[in-house]
Amino acid sequence: MKKRVTLLKEFTKGLWEINPTFKQILGMCPTLAVTVSAINGIAMALATTFVLFFSSLLISLIRKWIPNQVRIASYIVIIATFVTIVDLVMKAQFVELSKALGPFIPLIVVNCIILGRAEAFASKNNPLRSMLDALGNGAGFLISLFVLGSIREIIGSRTILGYQVMPNGFEPWLIMILPAGAFLTLGLLMGLANLYTERKKNLEREALIAQYKRVGREEITDEVLKEAGV
């Protein structure tokens, strides 16, 4: 029996619980490549969210007519269509950004987040839920890219979104805007995210055990702990 999930939860789960970058570890290539500055990260995340939203919606709408054997190929064609739209619009309207992001806009096609949500969620759920799920995951991706981009921009070029925030006396760390900085920052952030999740889980677990002790009922079993997801 599948647990009923509230509509709000469909959206908010993407922000942290199944955050594409930190929890699902999907879409690493654009995450690492474009986060030289916060603005690039935001642009990339918005472009991805646009594609994710519309492809999830469309896939969810036509999910009953897509034959199971060719579903992946159909998803890819749908995704590629929306990516082409984004690519052409970016080239026409935001020339600078389009140049900065280079081949990574067309490469949204192979971003595993989109295909992953299509396969794992949109192909099984109604359009409303799929839209919320897509927006939630897009927002989660946006948060990750923004945080990563900000850290790299602040330390690597003293600015955030183009405004100087670090004093002139601060010598920018060149490594942060080089490829190596991307790997190091994301690795450290991911480790911190894991540390936080683990701490939280331990606290919840202790709280549950304490609660059982207070009530004085039977000994807490592993199954109960598992059930509560802690």
Partner 1 sequence: MELFLIFISAALVNNFVLSYFLGICPFIGVSNKLSSAISMGMATTFVMALTAIVSWLLYNLILIPYHLDFLQIPSFILVIAALVQFVEMVIKKVSQPLYRALGIFLPLITTNCAILGLALLASMRSYNFMESVIFGVGAGAGFTLALIIMAGIREELDLADVPKPFQGAPITLIVAGILALAFMGFAGMI
State in angstroms the smallest separation of the CB of 19 from partner 1: 13
The answer to whether residue 95 forms part of the interface with partner 1 (CB under 8 A) is no
State in angstroms the smallest separation of the CB of 109 from partner 1: 5
Asked if 123 contacts 59 with a C-beta cutoff of 8 angstroms, the reply is yes
State in angstroms the smallest separation of the CB of 29 from partner 1: 5
The answer to whether residue 10 forms part of the interface with partner 1 (CB under 8 A) is no
The answer to whether residue 210 forms part of the interface with partner 1 (CB under 8 A) is no
Residue 49-88 contact track with partner 1, rule CB under 8 A, x = bound: ------------------------x--xx--xx-xx--xx
Asked if 64 contacts 58 with a C-beta cutoff of 8 angstroms, the reply is no
The answer to whether residue 32 forms part of the interface with partner 1 (CB under 8 A) is yes
Among 66, 89, 106, 208, binds partner 1 (CB under 8 A): 106
Q: Give the binding site for partner 1 (CB under 8 A).
A: 25-26, 28-30, 32-33, 73, 76-77, 80-81, 83-84, 87-88, 102-103, 106-107, 109-112, 115, 175, 178-184, 186-188, 190-192, 194-195, 198
